[in-house]
Amino acid sequence: MSAQQDASTREEQLYGALETEKVNAATAEIDRMSPLEIVQAINAEDARVAQAVEQVLPHVARAIEAIAVHLRHGGRLIYFGAGTSGRLGALDAAECPPTFNIPLEMVIGRIAGGHFALWQAVEDLEDSAEAGNSDAAQLAIVEQDVVVGITASGRTPYVLGAISYAREKGALCIGLACNRDTALEKVVEIMIAPVVGPEVINGSTRLKAGTAQKMVLNMLSTGTMILLGKTYGNLMVDVQPTNRKLHQRAVGIVQQASGLAPGAAEALLQEAGGEVKTAILVGRTGIAPEEAREQLAAHDQFLRKALDALDAKK
């Protein structure tokens, strides 16, 4: 056997040993099942996902705390992934600005193959570490940034290439995979590895692995934004009322937080220039919008801290 053949055999053995690539005995005859039995089988496997994520919550919490520190100091949260993993990262990044009123460049998603790969598979590029390295270089990653590599297998070359570049620049590197003891785990500071086991359809990691990654990404971005003062209780008080639905939501948040009637809440939101936090502070304390903005600025845009400080003065 040649050295090249020997390396290829070792690669196949390593890949076959991954939990996400094993054959699921519970769905081995899924093609014989009725539609109801199919969805019952999928649902039963999905029930395992939350349990797997629960096992890694301390790692997720550590990542959230670290990300918040970096973002407070001007850093960015940057996701790199290929295929489903890349699409999930891009989705999470896209939803942060309207939800939490952050700059577009604060949370960024990059996928192997670029924007085209968001709706059509470009699977060959996930095998290119050079492409990952190049995409990372184009973002001019610096020490203040946090880079999250997302790959179900934990060994996708594109992701490893991006992480390699980020490490060279001193950025905090976090890994998200659905296997343990992976190549990714060896090169990141924080590893999050919910092991969901074999997929319903062998190797189709858009299923349980994708669901686990989505759950963790929800926690990473939402938890970070909570630590940055983007919520008051469980109200998203930094929401941007950029369309009718979001305007109605913003009015509802002002109403709920201030106790005002819908009409009064809408008038107050308009007076505050569409700024939900400002409107709530005005409604709760009676101060002018400009003073409300000053109070929020003095308390790092944390609405609760501003309210507590004003209550303490009474």
Residues forming the active site: 95, 126
- Could you tell me if 146 and 174 are in contact, meaning their C-beta atoms sit under 8 angstroms apart? yes
User: 39: burial class by Cβ within 10 Å (0-12, 13-18, 19+)?
Assistant: exposed
Give the three-class secondary structure for 190. Answer: strand
Residue 274 backbone zone (phi > 0: left; psi -120 to 50: alpha; other: beta): left
CA atoms within 13 A on the CB side of 244: 0
Amino acid at 231: T
C-alpha dist (Å) from residue 269 to 171, 254, 258, 259, 273: 39, 7, 11, 13, 6
Helix (H) or strand (E) holding 77: strand 77-81
Q: What's the CA gap between 90 and 148, in Å, rounded? A: 12
Nearest CA to 155 out of 123, 119, 185, 130 is that of: 185
| Interatomic CA distance for residues 230 and 99, integer angstroms | 9
